[in-house]
Every structure is written in C-alpha cells, then in structure tokens.
Amino acid sequence: MSETSAPGGPGMAMPGLSTAESEKMQAAFKDIAERSQKLLQGFSERYQAGDGQAAADPLRLTQTFMDFTAKMLADPNKLLEAQMELWQQYLQLWQATTQRLMGQTVAPVVEPAKGDKRFNDPAWKEEVVFDYLKQSYLLTARWLQGTVKEVDGVDAKTAQKVDFYTRQFIDAMSPSNFAMTNPQVLKATVETKGENLVKGLQNLLTDLERGKGKLAIRQTDMNAFKVGENVATSPGKVVYQNEVMQLIQYAPLTDEVYAMPLLIVPPWINKFYILDLKPQNSFIKWATEAGYTVFVISWVNPDERLTGLVFDDYMKHGPLAALDAIEKATGEKKVSAIGYCIGGTLMATTLAYMAARNDDRIAACTFFTAQVDFTEPGELGVFIDEDQLAGVQEVMSKKGYLDGTEMATTFNMLRANDLIWSFVVNNYLMGKDPFPFDLLYWNADATRMPAAMHMYYLRNMYQKNLLAQPGGLVIDNVPIDLRKITTPVYIQAGKDDHIAPARSVYKATQLFSGPARFMLAGSGHIAGVVNPPSAKKYQHWLNETPKNPASLEEWRAGATEYPGSWWNDWDKWLSEKSGAKVPARVPGAGDLPAIEDAPGSYVKVRLID
C-alpha cells in the first residue's frame, strides 16, 4: 500500500498527507475531540445548575429594532429609493469588474476607509474576484449604515443605538472574517494543507477553556508577561492598605524631590500599571525621574466578600484615605493629584466634597481623559438606557458584581475590527498564536465591578448626569457641587479618544471655578496619555487664552499645535506648584513602614490567564 493511500488510523497516512503529517493531524483531531467533550460536559453541568441559562436577548435589542423597523417601513417609497440606489451601485461595480476581467485598468467604485487594515493584503486589489468581494461588501456596508441613519421619526438615542449595533453586524460580516473569502487564509490553507484551520480550532478550544465555556479571545501571548517581573517593575513599597486599595510609594530616582508629593488615582475598571508597563514608556518612572515623590493607588479586584462596596467607599477608602497615609509617610499635608478616566471622575467628586468641608489638602489636580459632564459621552452612551441597565443589573444580581470580562467586551466592541475580528482571523483562521504585546496583556487583565457601586456610577453619571448638576449627588451628607472647586487643574484629553471623547472632557473647563489649563493630545484614550517625550510621537495642542471658551471647537480655533509629547508642559505646570526641593524620601522610612514590595498583591489578582 502506498504512503498516501490509506484512509487513516495509527501509523497510516491521510489522503494527500505523508505519514508524519497524518500522525500530527490525527493527534490534533484527538486533542480536539477530547477537549470538546470536556467543554460540552461542563456546559451541560452549568446549564443544569442554572448558570448556563442566558437571556435570549441579553442586550435587550429586540424591541429597539422592532420599533425602528416599523418606522423604516412606514415610508416604503424611501426604502425603495435606497434599494434602487444600491442596485445602481452594484451595476457600476459589475461593469467595472467586467472591464477588469477584459484586462482594462478601472478605478475602484468604492475603497476602504483610511486606516482599515482588513484589506491590506495585495490580493484584495490585484485579484479581480477578491476585489469584487471587497467592493461589494463595502458598498453594502455603506448603504446599510446610510439607510438606517436616514429613517425619520427615530429619537437620537435609538438612532445611535441602532447605528452602533448595525455596525457590529456589518463588521462581523466582512469577507475578511471567513475562510473561503479571505485570500490570506486560503493561501495559508493550501500551503499548510489545512493545518492552519486545525490549529485555529485548537486555539478556539483553548479560548473557550480559558473563559470556562465563554469565548475569551486571546489578544496577546498571556504567558509572555508577569506583573512585577516584566511589567509594573518600578521599584517601591506598599506603605498602606485597606479593603479597597493598596497605596504604593515609589523609590526616588533623584537626590532631591519636590516637597509636595504626587498622588495618582487610576480607574478601578482596570489595573494601574498602564502607567508602568515598561521603563521606556512608564509615566510613573518618568515622574519619579522628574523629582516627584509618587504615590499610586492600586485598587482591589473585588470578589464576593466585597460586593457591598459603594461609590462613597471608593472615595473615603481611596483618595481620602491616601491623603491621610501620605501625610504620615512624608509629613506633608498638601499634595498634588492625578485622576485617570473614572479615577478622574472620582477625583472631581472628591475635590467638590473637600471644598464643601473646607479641606484644601489637594493643591493642584490633573485629569487624564476624565469626564465630569456626561451629556456627550460618545459611543459608551449606547449601553446606557433603561433596558440595557436592567440587563446589567440582572447579570450582577447573580454574583453581586460584574465580571471584568463583560466590561472588556464592551470596550472591545468600540473598536471591533481591531480588538475582536483581527484576532478571530489571526488566531482561528490563520492558526497563529497572538503576538506578545504588553499593552494588550494589560487590556486583558480585567477587574470586577461591585454591583451597587457600578450601578450608582452608570445611573448617576452616565444616565442622569447628576455630577454636573449642583447638589445632584450627595455623598456622606455633603452635596456635591463642582463649581465650588477652585483648585488649579490641568485637563488632558485625547483627540481620537473613543471612551472619553475630547468634547466631553472639555466640558470640565466650564464647571470648575479655579484656573484650568486644557491640553489636547494626539491619539486616543491610552496612547494620548502614555506618550513619553523620548518616543517623539504624535502631537499636542495648547491655547494660552486667559479664559477657556465655551466649546472645544472654539478652543481649537485658537490653539497652537506642538510636536511630540505633552508631558514636559505638564511638568512645567506642576513643578511651579510643588514647592521647594527637599531630600529624597525612602518608601517605608517614614511613619508608615513598608508592607510589601511594589507593585503589591492587589494588582496580581487575575480573573483569567
């Protein structure tokens, strides 16, 4: 019997494969079968226990799309006109494709948007069939989104919701996401004799196992990094802790430091070490080298024991407790502070709370991509209506918290092609392992949200916008009024931020009563913040007018663009407010002894590996 004639079996070749290739493929299929059986058994057990019963419509979109469809069908002539327009565009494409098949050079009917990486492979242009698939998809996608935007009688909130989820559907249906219509995948399948698809199936099973039955797509090599070893490596000590946070004091990198310490309050929806990924781009290391005594809050990753935590707890046991601890550690009563994203929302609340109590311990405050007025929250507002909030509350009621992977999925949906579908193609269709990338490792290091605190934040900030209203929030019997904040502030926003849009962040300049320096950075929510001067990347804009105009558009009209990082501008602003130089402080040498080495134990609690 020839080497390739056997149908399979131990030591026998599969059609078209050598014996060695057959054995490798058979071992892979055996692995797939065994792991699939375990996953199905686990799913069955969870389902019978009640854990696997999910709502048929977890995002509660059915009624939204039914109401929208009724309004769309109410004007059949308009729908017919749109369909005729699409038909004419298809005719143009068919004509152009025919001309190409006859050897003529023809300009494309439609092209991908700038920055769309899905169609970078040359075959999408050079091969007529794939070029046709690409353009047909782009025409349909453009038509579909244009059509849903032009339906009359739909309120703005519903229109935004329909547009967002329509785009999710459009992105999912891209020909680049399917093996038979992606030229790269087809080429790899031929070259590897299908091994890419088998390996992709194994990768899929691995991600299902990681997610305990839910698909947890790996965006990076999760074994390539370890917190405290090759990320979050700046030296320091945990000098204080409570049930909500650990306070890290970083070791000085200069002989002298500014008298006023610096407190960084990161968001609790993810880990603080985005500011300390590696030495080359660590904001924490850079600020320490600039002569600041840096303290950072490392929030707890709450479990069932801490489901009762509320927003007040994050303020009292977070920044307020940190202020007391810093005074013990350094002898300094006054500090400067930074609040990042939701940490900035918390800091604004804290400043208003302190102002009402005549507490002036924060002498200057910086806000990184932080919203305090939520009237224009961007696409995250899509998730904040009563139906979807009720769905979130129902999910959290089972365990008392929102699992961090649910939050990560929400953020990934904002950039689905980059953060979801590109990895589906790479991991499952191409059969490749994800590339080691520290930023994506951090992005996957999810944190839980205690139910009461999370619903308070979603309802009172996003849905009702009470923080922007004088007395709208009352914390510890203190009405919160942002207009009572006279502390000098530095407000950073990212030009391309899709989580905290620059226009939304800018609104803080109209609420605080003290001097406010606004700075617009190039790039988005992460790269707009983490952009060290040594990188010489992006740009930033400043407007030196004494009074900030009413809108971001007016501010930009009078702004000047500067190349590179904004960190030096911030340093100049803060150093002038941070007092004289004093001998450098050693963590643990003050009245607060060291508890453990940085980055501490709270940040190392992981939900998924």
CA distance 93 to 98: 9
Work out the burial of residue 454: count CB atoms within 10 Å of its CB; fewer than 13 is exposed, 13-18 middle, 19 or more buried: buried
Work out the burial of residue 140: count CB atoms within 10 Å of its CB; fewer than 13 is exposed, 13-18 middle, 19 or more buried: middle
Asked if residues 4 and 17 have their Cβ atoms less than 8 Å apart, the reply is: yes
Q: What is the 3-state secondary structure (H, E, C) of 521-554?
A: ECCCCCCCCCCCHHHCCCEEEECCCCCCCCCHHH
Pairing verdict, β 335-340 and 262-265: parallel
- Name the CA radius of gyration of the chain, rounded: 27
Sign, CA dihedral 579-580-584-588, equals negative
Q: What is the dihedral of CA 262, 267, 270, 272, to 10 degrees?
A: 0
**Enclosing H/E stretch for 493:** strand 489-494
Look up tokens 């003290």; give the residue.
514
Asked if residues 174 and 13 have their Cβ atoms less than 8 Å apart, the reply is: no
Pairing verdict, β 449-450 and 245-250: unpaired
CA distance 159 to 139: 21
Q: Which residue, among 249, 238, 236, 329, has the nearest Cα to 601 in the 3D structure?
A: 238
Work out the burial of residue 395: count CB atoms within 10 Å of its CB; fewer than 13 is exposed, 13-18 middle, 19 or more buried: middle
User: How does DSSP assign 169-207, residue by residue?
Assistant: HHHHT-GGGSGGG-HHHHHHHHHHTTHHHHHHHHHHHHH
Look up tokens 């191409």; give the residue.
430
- Residue 341 is a catalytic residue: yes
Q: Which of 148, 151, 341, 559 is catalytic?
A: 341
- What single DSSP character describes residue 101? H
Asked if residues 317 and 244 have their Cβ atoms less than 8 Å apart, the reply is: yes
CA distance 153 to 171: 26
Active site residues: 341
